[in-house]
Structure 1
Amino acid sequence: MYLKIIGNSNIENKTIDSIGYNTNHINIKSIFDEANSMSEKLLKLGFIENEIIENKKTNDTTFQFVFDIRKKTNFIHIYIGANSELKTLGILKNKNDTLKIAFSEIENFMNQNLKLLEQKGFSLSSLKLINYRKTNHALFAGLDLQIGNKRQLNDIVIVGYEKFPEGHKKNIKRLYKNKVFNLENLKKLKDDFDKFRFISQKKYPEILFTKDTTKVYVYLEKTKPNRFDGLVGFSNDEKKKIKFNGYLDLLLINTLNSGEEFTLFWKSDGADQKTFNAGLELPYIFKTRFGLKTTLNIFKQDSTFQNTKTNLDIGYFF
């Protein structure tokens, strides 16, 4: 089935053709939806009085819609009021009580201001134009703003991994609790959880708005990033003593549900050379913001040389 849309004049035809529309359709509903879509597109461009004045079936497969798009409204005058909250919040810088913008920019204007409100924590704000009136080809409207309460992140609820390390949980809540709630801070929260190698997020965090609180639900599952690799053999030396040779590479992360990390590396050629490295990291000791990192490195060359290094660091998580 085919759709043809024309205007009331050659000029209107050029306008319609410049917008474009889908001519091929699978059923009648799709044809009518496309015609209504054309009307909405014309409206956004400023042809606010456009209307379908005729639709007919010209043959077995073709429908024709005739539009009267009328005069284009290029600008709209929006009354924002002398004491608009948009000015108080620093979103609108205009000093006058009326703002003149291109009609085609209305949607962009509304979306930008809603985005700025959201960034400031007014996530449930609504913005719409009201009281339209037209005088001498000039269009006027009022601006209705429902701003709601400023939202702060009141709580973070972890779902799916009940034994999530308490120190990490406490620190995450310290960083984000009572922060302005907006999509940017929500993404930062998600990214901070992604930094933990011992968990994965099942889905994007969800928000629960109540009258007075804002909660974020984070859906986690424990992963096993542990690593074990090794090959150990043994042989007898000249004195028939057993000597081990090979290597062992071990990494254990969050085995005790405290976010700890333990590393062990051992290598021996079964003769003269041996290497042993071990490390332990304990973040948020006793649920405080202090962390401990210790390492031990031993290198031995036959019985005449041995180098041992130890290191102990105490850090603070800001």
Structure 2
Amino acid sequence: MKYLLYFFLFICNFSLHAQEKKFILIDIQNNQKKVVSDSLSAAKFLDSLSQNSYYLTEVTNVKKTKNTTEIFFDKKQNFNIAEVHLSDSLAKQLNLSENFTTKNLDSLKQNINQKYRDKGYSFNRVKTKFKGFKNKIPQVDLEISLSEKRTIDKFVLKDYDKVPKRFVRNLEQDFLHKTYDDKTLLKINSSLQNHPFVLLERPPQTLFKRDSTEIYLFLKKKVNSTFDGIIGFGNDKTDKFTLNGSLNLNLKNIFNGFETIGLFWQRNPDSGQTFNLGTDIPYLFNSKIGLNLNVNIYRQDSTFATVKAIPGFYYHISSNQKIGIRGTFETSAVLDSLYTAGKDYTKQGIGIWYQFTKPTETEIFQYQTRVITNIDYLRANYTDQKFNQIQYFLSAENNFHLSGNHYLNLNGESALINAKNELNTNELFRFGGWNSLRGFNENSLYADFYAYGGAEYRYLVNPQTFFDVFGQYAILNNPTLAGQVKLYSLGFGFKFFLPIGLMSLQISNGSQFGEAFNLKSTKISWGILSRF
């Protein structure tokens, strides 16, 4: 019984193989063969030849045996290789010869079509007229049929249209009546892709009317108000462990005017506190003129307090550039009669400033490029004398994409007070901390001149997370010190998005060149930036 079963299985297997059929397609031009399993596959293969410009493909013979079908075919001439003839005017427009041979007629027609699309002829047609064969090469005449030239005639806002009128006017000034082509659409898309107040939910859509072209922009109000809290751990000047931090609230576009209202508070380990209130209105009376007002209060424990108000106006050069004029009104008072490093004073003056910001395509980075600079001319009034002063400030930052997930952030900042009189401690620049020279306490460094630069390597794990390692170098000049002081800081950290916002952790340490590295001076900063 066992052997009978084996014999039965062998007969069935042999019978199944005997019933298998195959189709062999043979190209008579080069005798190449292609084997397929069924007639449908054979028909699809022959159809594909016509789609590849073998329009005259012909089946010349079919031979059938018991389980095999041989199909002989002749592809004939490939019409994608052709001798092209252009009219004199068309040849000049395309900067081509009137007669030439092309190896890819389809690609040539697509290129011609695209050239006229770039000129605004969105509905042009490239016509091919077959004239016969010459030396087995197809002869074709190419002609172009042009529709009416298209320009951008109107912008239509959809979904979110409660935007400042100046926003729409800026779009119209930049793009209205420009040639309608792919490049212009990309520029429109790029100008809105990383806008601080609106989101472009989909690429710009086009409605072609008989006599006009309208661009539809599907906008969404950006959730852009932020609350930023930072907690810092470190030691003060007496090596005592302290807890410090800052709170930063920014309300943006709550009145649909692209306005910003900011409130900032900070406490540093050396008992200094900063309070800042600012507002920015970008389009006054639907013009390109913006208003900026900032009030800053700084109090150093019980020794002195300084109040500074800076009102200003600015002009939008473009969506990324601003230039402005501002006034400065500053008052400082010494609170402790035993504090001899400071003096009471008032300052008034005027200045100009410039800002350039380029948005980033990587959301977790704040921006691609940012440059801020200003010059202020001030009149300083002390109890017994008056002096003129000039203050300079420059800050620059750029993110470079090295390759893959690797990025390099380069940044620097510098400031100078040019004065003939001897400056007091309460009127010097204060810097250091999370957003400047890391590894030092917030606002713990005083100087009439400072400059620092840093390099930060960033590894982007995904669009929502990156790790970084950084190094910074700084020089500063303090009137109470002999000569310039050179500092450095090193550290690492990471940032990533959570459901509640962007979390940051930074571990850093800084020291003066020539001094031993002190682990007790290590700073740990942790913060959350939430949007609402």
Match of 1:34 in 2: 45
Higher helix fraction (1 or 2) = 1
Match of 1:172 in 2: 171
Alignment of 1:26-175 (within 5 A): 29-41=40-52, 43=53, 49-54=56-61, 64-70=70-76, 75-84=81-90, 87=92, 90-94=93-97, 98-102=98-102, 104-175=103-174
Q: Deviations over 1:182-213 (max 9, x none)?
A: 01100110111123122222221111112211
Whole-angstrom distance in 2 between the partners of 1:257 and 1:177 = 24
> 1:34 Cα deviation (Å)?
3.0
Distance 1:135 1:258, change over 3 A: same
- Alignment length (residue pairs): 285
Distance 1:199 1:71, change over 3 A: closer
68-77 vs 217-226, which deviates more? 68-77
Give unmatched runs, 5+ long, in structure 2.
Answer: 1-20, 232-243, 319-532
Whole-angstrom distance in 2 between the partners of 1:253 and 1:2 = 71
Q: What is the root-mean-square deviation in Å for CA atoms of aligned residues?
A: 3.1
1:317 matched to 2:323? The reply is no
Secondary structure of 2:257's counterpart equals: coil
Match of 1:238 in 2: none
Whole-angstrom distance in 1 between the partners of 2:66 and 2:218 = 57
Distance 1:74 1:274, change over 3 A: closer
Task: Pick 1 or 2: higher relative contact order, CA cutoff 8 A, min separation 6.
Answer: 1
Secondary structure of 2:186's counterpart equals: helix
Match of 1:241 in 2: none
Q: Deviations over 1:247-296 (max 9, x none)?
A: 43211221111111222211247994211123322222211122223333
TM-score, length basis structure 2: 0.48
Identity of aligned residues (%): 24
Secondary structure of 1:66's counterpart equals: strand
CA contact (8 A) 1:53 1:68 kept: yes
Secondary structure of 2:148's counterpart equals: coil
Larger Rg: 2
Higher strand fraction (1 or 2) = 2
Letter of the aligned partner of 1:197 in structure 2? P
Whole-angstrom distance in 1 between the partners of 2:95 and 2:219 = 40
Secondary structure of 1:83's counterpart equals: helix
Distance 1:219 1:3, change over 3 A: farther
Alignment of 1:179-190 (within 5 A): 179-190=178-189
Whole-angstrom distance in 2 between the partners of 1:198 and 1:169 = 13
CA contact (8 A) 2:161 2:219 kept: no
Q: Deviations over 1:109-130 (max 9, x none)?
A: 1111111111111111111211
> 1:139 Cα deviation (Å)?
2.3
Whole-angstrom distance in 1 between the partners of 2:134 and 2:307 = 89
TM-score, length basis structure 1: 0.77
CA contact (8 A) 1:39 1:51 kept: no
Distance 1:34 1:71, change over 3 A: closer
CA contact (8 A) 1:290 1:317 kept: no
CA contact (8 A) 1:165 1:258 kept: yes
